[in-house]
Structure 1
């Protein structure tokens, strides 16, 4: 399925779409490309399916942005970095396939497509498509944060590489660990009410969190570094060491516990 096949259905209207709506359209249509690939994958080995998924989704998103926002810069996991983005006013930060492992393990659903826009120093629009779940969360229609719940705090954690830091944090808080796949799915699980927080301290890149953070903010969730400082994007080095996304009423408790934990490690 080509870019024209998927996006051509709305081609006449796309020119007038807001950045918010375009982020959703791009994420949704890339998701359709990836679902199509899964359906036709046949006997592809997991490694081949991962690589082809990255390639097709990247090509689709690059073509869409080139057609509908040709003057904007792009930072993508699957493309070489263009230093000119550092001088640009507008930069799309994309992860064409977040959770390649899960994507290759058909029929797993916990993988995503991330599309975010950075403008004037901050994230201004974003969409996280979860194609196999039939769900997209985006800033054009900000999701509603779930109601607070009682009981232990639930922390999203990697199903294959649960970080020791989060395990120690859970022990300190008496929290439950909920294993799941991609970064985007873990972050948006807070909005689904499946977990209460996503804490990551093992190092990520901007494309891993930009779209989830944009969507989480639009819903009123707390987003920050694990020391409480502001998340910054479109930096020279796109490595973003850590991240906290959580229900706003839990932010102080989580940040205090993280501070206690990190101070104890430093001693």
Structure 2
């Protein structure tokens, strides 16, 4: 079984290849359509990146499982010791609009735990990396979350998370809400302290958060689902029950303020 550092090197190589393919479609009016059942948009670029990643990664690691937003579900992944968890383009709406804030999210799970992770933003050439035993890095330099408390914190989340119904006694904390289109990138932005937290109160697909969750954890953030439970990956459902990602102080304050 390859060491996590070997898997990380493979993921970095794959993420760079994904970026080159995506940039060939970006701002070139790629074909786009809506998935069934309101699952959001997809483009020919998503599929091209997915096909390239699957070929590269599964050829290098044929005994690993495969879970990707743009592939048919394969239940055999549940029996694999390790599994790739991939979002070929996270932030497809931003990609379609010609915005810069899309990313490639690549992770390896061993059992329920992520052991290697890369989030790559090709337009800005930002690459976040981590292994389960190593530091979280941005372009090779260590990162760390902020030490902010809840009052005045900048929280990456969607508008509905600010509704009183989600908070104990209807008291919405005095944080400032921000948004970025890629959920994987939001976790990384919290990991590096550019924003104080990333928060979602609705279920998140594993491919959106697997890589970012390890990067944030190894940076020193506390990373849980919305109820404060540890995240578990490569599950049959392929989803996690929301997320709270922040420095330990802010994480505790957000968790305490939420309605249970």
Q: TM-score, normalised by structure 2?
A: 0.84
The answer as to whether partners of 2:82 and 2:109 remain within 8 angstroms in 1 is yes
Task: Look up the match of 2:8.
Answer: 20
Q: State the alpha-carbon separation in 1 of the partners of residues 152 and 72 from structure 2.
A: 43
Indicate the SS of the match to 1:132.
Answer: coil
Q: TM-score, normalised by structure 1?
A: 0.82
Indicate the SS of the match to 2:226.
Answer: coil
How far 1:28 moved relative to its partner? 2.1
Task: Look up the match of 1:142.
Answer: 136
Is 1:84 the counterpart of 2:76? The answer is yes
Task: Look up the match of 2:161.
Answer: 165
Alignment of 1:6-155 (within 5 A): 18-38=6-26, 41=28, 43-44=29-30, 47=33, 50-106=42-98, 108-139=99-130, 142-143=136-137, 144-149=143-148, 152-155=152-155
Indicate the SS of the match to 1:232.
Answer: coil
The answer as to whether partners of 1:100 and 1:111 remain within 8 angstroms in 2 is yes
Task: Look up the match of 1:204.
Answer: 204
Task: Look up the match of 2:239.
Answer: 239
Q: Can you list the C-alpha shifts for 1:207-238, whole angstroms capped at 9, x where unaligned?
A: 11101101111212110011111111111111
The answer as to whether partners of 1:118 and 1:125 remain within 8 angstroms in 2 is yes
Q: Which has the higher helix share?
A: 1
Q: What do you get for the CA RMSD once the two structures are aligned? A: 2.3
The answer as to whether partners of 1:166 and 1:200 remain within 8 angstroms in 2 is no
CA 1:197–1:52 in 2, change beyond 3 Å: closer, same or farther? same
The answer as to whether partners of 2:145 and 2:220 remain within 8 angstroms in 1 is no
Q: Can you list the C-alpha shifts for 1:104-123, whole angstroms capped at 9, x where unaligned?
A: 111x1111111000113311
Q: State the alpha-carbon separation in 1 of the partners of residues 104 and 197 from structure 2.
A: 20
The answer as to whether partners of 2:148 and 2:250 remain within 8 angstroms in 1 is no
Q: Can you list the C-alpha shifts for 1:96-148, whole angstroms capped at 9, x where unaligned?
A: 01110001111x11111110001133111111111122101011662320443
Aligned pair count? Answer: 238
- Bigger-Rg structure (1/2): 1
